[in-house]
A and B are shown apart, each in its own frame.
Chain A
Amino acid sequence: MNNALRNPKGIYTIGNRLVDQKERTIQSSTDRCNALNCGHRACQGCGEALGARCVVDAAMRATNGQLIVVNATGCLEVFSTPYPETAWQTAWVHSLFGNAPAVATGVAAAMKIKGRGEVRTLAQGGDGSTTDIGFGCLSGMFERNDDVLYVCYDNQAYMNTGVQRSSATPPAARTATTPTMGHEPGNVFGTGKNLPLLAMAHQIPYVATATVSDIQDLEAKVTKAMSMRGARYLHVLVPCPLGWGSLPRHTITLARLAVQCGLYPLFEAENGEVTGSTKIRQHVPVENYLQLQKRFAHLFKNGKAVDERLARMQAMADANIRRFNLLGVEEN
């Protein structure tokens, strides 16, 4: 998205009283739907709770409230809907850990058969349910081009069951199953999968990445996804204070640093081709991002980098910067 457009009056804040109401974010508006209401039991400063409200509110706005949400098992489901309470203020279905894409396919098909094509379907789950257990169902949903927006809230581990590694856990990170032991403590380099790229390989109409530090960008991507039909995929990085060992107040700072160091590129792709990326505004070294998280504490001693694996992390960030033109000039 063009920076000048996002920033007509000198600020990048969520709202801007100097611009027309229509141009302001949904999250700045008092008539956002608050799809995920107060009283949910997410931890203090949970990025997933914030990300989910922003995504579903934007989808509700785009569909005029004609939306059914299908949720996989995971923190988002457990903290929002501990029987007999729910914090959801939308039509919302939960079935199992690994089947959300298949359930969503069914919901979309049912709506079509009932002649309710205006009712749209959004499926969502954590990185575990998306990249691991539910990946078969998801790949099928993509391959058939079913009319569903699938959103993965990536907090980079199985948080709900106590921080086990998933195939989205970054290298070197400490989790319950990748302890800081041995000569290469934490998660192993060269493992894991990149779901946005896998989604693109299915040639689906739309793939994008987003995060909670850039709500303008996130809302624009949801809105765009909902303007399209067929299988769409949105990957949202959501810092998790519990699993990352970070301060609750740093959730947005961390999301921002992940983007600004290059480790988490923000981009969009249509039909398998990258169509644009959000530029880095204040480039920082990966240390700035990693140092605020206890899961990477073993890479530092007294605030100084002590592990040569930091250079490998930096190389990953640099590769993203090149691949997605993150420092380059705005195309279009």
Chain B
Amino acid sequence: MKPFATVLEVGSSLSNRTGSWRTERPVYVHRLPPCNNACPAGENIQEWLSLVEQEKYEDAWREIVKNNPFPAIMGRVCYHPCENACNRVVLESPVGINSVEQFLGDKAIKEGWAFDKPAKASGKKVLVIGSGPAGLSAAYQLARAGHKVTIKEMLDKTGGMLRFGIPQYRLPRDVLDAEIKRILDLGVELQLNTKESDLAATMEKGGFDAVFLSAGAHIAKLASFPTSDNARVLDAVSVLRDMEGKTKPSLGKRVVVYGGGNTALDVARTAKRLGAETVTIVYRRNREKMPAHAFEVDEALQENIVIKYLSTIKDYQKTTLTLETMALDEKGWPQPTGKTETMEADCVVLALGQDSDLSFLDKVSGLKIANGVLEVDAQMMSGHPGLFAGGDMVPSSRTATVGIGHGKKAARHIDLWLFKQEAPAEVKNEIAGSDRLNTWYYAEAQRTERKMTDGAKRAGTFDEVQSGLSQDEALSEARRCLSCGNCFECDNCYGVCPDNAIKKLGAGKGFEINLDYCKGCALCATECPCGSIDMVPEEN
């Protein structure tokens, strides 16, 4: 029969290569999520949130501990700069990264997850001075790389300021112990009650191929004001350290804390828990200028701690304290006004910051010490070859997270240095800014906060003040992550291409542009929720 109509072959349009119309081509890219960029420990936050999203909790924990062996600790005490950087603010509020981290850390302890076995023994030995977060982080990374690590710690317990600074109502000691034990279980040798007092001599003796210093900053800065012999002046570092001893410090009923940093707040809240009736923080500037974080100030106020701003201590005789009112000048510095007042105090606790005790380095050659801290280069190495340092004793913003990051970085460079290798050039992707998000595709989802015990109630005990998220809460919090700058396989590009020019490669494999037919309309790039497609001009 003669065909009654023209009949065309299926697939005949494929000979028309419409890709030749293109002036720009879509390219899948990876951008650096702002949270990852802000994390001082260098966690790949987006990656582990995505694993939580898929309910792969153990995988998520293993991703965190590549960079930070302390998710349960840092999930409690980190000041979470990641959340301040989180792009989700353009929708409602940042992802609760810190609380999900705590959830994973706690789950790992409960489930007894252990670290992967260290790599094959390298035969190299590294000495670490100090068992604070910086030293433990370095020891952990070095041990995982197969090196033999010995930690010298002058105190009778590990942890540095995590234990002898941060109070247990913020960081329960069983959590601290569990995460430190896991590191020691890798075969790290620990020498407690062993103060390093002459490093030059120790190095002379040999037995180590490299050294990492992380002695922290423990010497309280003092203030000078006249006192009588029977006036009690203590310092915050000693008070907090004594909290870990057998006999707790006795501070009296009326306690005054002098200073405006996080340590001042921690010691004030500790005094309250030790039974003080009134706790007053005296600070010479105003709330805005206070170095303590706003949330810590709020928590202290909820516990009925009084803060006297714009005041300095002039004089302290027996139990009578004289304060002078200050006024801020144009530059924001406090200037005396001559106006004074008095109040009664059973003791004054100084919380004016800490200096490092670097006397054990006196005889080591090549070091540069400025402003009381040891200078290191970008590889965390001091002026003495093979001697690396990090944490509070080097120039830094002095947080535990920064210390953990230093420890990790130093370990990487010690490893390279030991084998005389060059550090590979660092490739840092461009930051995934919120301007590249197509927020239409994300549903509104409010943030779940961890619950806090009521102020008056929690101030009466050393119990932890905040409780962690449930698994369901952690899951929904992780699902709030936008996956900034990295494809999460939402299929938008694949679905919106009018030319069917995108190939879906299957779960975990992403997509591929079929350049034979892509006309370069940029619908895929425009409709990508997380900004992981660039449009790149075609050459000529």
Contact = CB atoms under 8 A, between A and B. Distances in A.
B443 A12 contact: yes
B507 A27 contact: no
Interface string A72-85: 00000000110111
Contact of A11 (B14, B442, B498, B523): B442
A10 B498 CA distance: 26
Interface in A287-324: none
Main secondary structure on chain A at its contact with chain B? Answer: loop
Interface in A236-264: 241, 247-253, 256
Contacts of A87: 13
Contacts of A37: 11, 13-14, 500
A88 B500 CA distance: 12
A40 interface: yes
A46 B498 contact: yes
B184 interface: no
A15 B492 contact: yes
Interface string B130-169: 0000000000000000000000000000000000000000
B227 to A, nearest CB: 60
B224 interface: no
B440 A256 contact: yes
A103 B387 CA distance: 86
Contacts of A41: 16, 18
A42 B492 contact: no
B412 to A, nearest CB: 33
Given A28-B495, A40-B13, A12 B523 contact: no
A9 B479 contact: yes
Interface residues of A, number: 53
Contacts of A11: 441-443, 490, 529
Interface residues of B, number: 52
Contacts of A14: 490-492, 494-496
B506 interface: yes
Interface in B514-540: 514, 516-517, 519-523, 525-527, 529
B13 A252 contact: no
B241 interface: no
Nearest to A6: B443
Interface stretch (A47-55, A115-123, A158-166): A47-55
Interface in B471-512: 476, 479-480, 488-492, 494-501, 504, 506-507
Given A15-B492, A39-B15, A39-B517, A10 B526 contact: no
Contacts of B318: none
B10 A86 contact: yes
A24 B17 CA distance: 31
B21 interface: yes
A28 B6 contact: no
A28 B517 CA distance: 19
Nearest to B489: A17
Nearest to B6: A83
Nearest to A83: B6
B488 to A, nearest CB: 7
A248 B535 CA distance: 13
A25 B495 contact: yes
Nearest to B494: A28
A297 B501 CA distance: 32
A44 B519 contact: yes
A38 interface: yes
B525 A249 contact: yes
Contact of B480 (A10, A93, A282): A10
B53 interface: yes
Nearest to B524: A249
B15 A85 contact: yes
Contacts of A241: 521
Nearest to A8: B443
Interface string A14-31: 111110000011011010
Contacts of B495: 14-15, 25, 27-28, 215
Contacts of B517: 38-39
A84 B442 CA distance: 44
Nearest to A47: B498
Contact of A38 (B443, B445, B514): B514
B526 A16 contact: no
A86 B5 CA distance: 14
A41 B517 CA distance: 10
B496 A252 contact: yes
B8 A249 contact: no
Contacts of B522: 45, 247-249
Contacts of A15: 489-492, 494-495
A13 interface: yes
B440 A38 contact: no
Nearest to B522: A249
B54 interface: yes
A253 to B, nearest CB: 7
B521 A85 contact: no
Given A10-B479, A28-B495, A38 B501 contact: yes
A36 interface: yes
B14 A39 contact: yes
B371 interface: no
Most chain B beta-carbon neighbours within 10 Å: one of A38, A93, A253: A38
B9 interface: yes
B12 interface: yes
Central interface residue in B14, B489, B495, B501, by most chain A CB within 10 Å = B495
A247 B10 CA distance: 31
A50 B131 CA distance: 61
B526 A12 contact: no
A89 interface: yes
Question: Which of A9, A15, A42, A53 lies at the interface centre, i.e. has the most chain B CB atoms within 10 A of its CB?
Answer: A15
Nearest to B501: A38
Interface string A49-69: 110010000000000000000
Contacts of A215: 495-496
Contacts of A253: 526
A187 to B, nearest CB: 26
Contact of B488 (A17, A85, A251): A17
Given A12-B441, A50-B496, A39 B13 contact: yes
Contact of A86 (B12, B53, B499, B526): B12
Nearest to B517: A38
A42 to B, nearest CB: 6
Nearest to B445: A10
Interface of A: 7, 9-18, 24-25, 27-28, 30, 34, 36-42, 44-47, 49-50, 53, 80-81, 83-89, 93, 212, 215, 241, 247-253, 256, 282
Given A12-B441, A84-B12, 16 more contacts: A10-B476, A12-B440, A15-B491, A15-B494, A17-B507, A18-B479, A27-B495, A30-B504, A38-B517, A39-B18, A40-B18, A46-B521, A50-B497, A215-B495, A250-B526, A251-B521
12 contacts: A10-B476, A11-B442, A15-B491, A17-B490, A25-B491, A39-B16, A53-B498, A88-B10, A93-B5, A215-B496, A249-B525, A252-B526
A-B pairs, top 4 by smallest CB distance, nearest first, are A15-B491, A39-B13, A14-B495, A45-B521
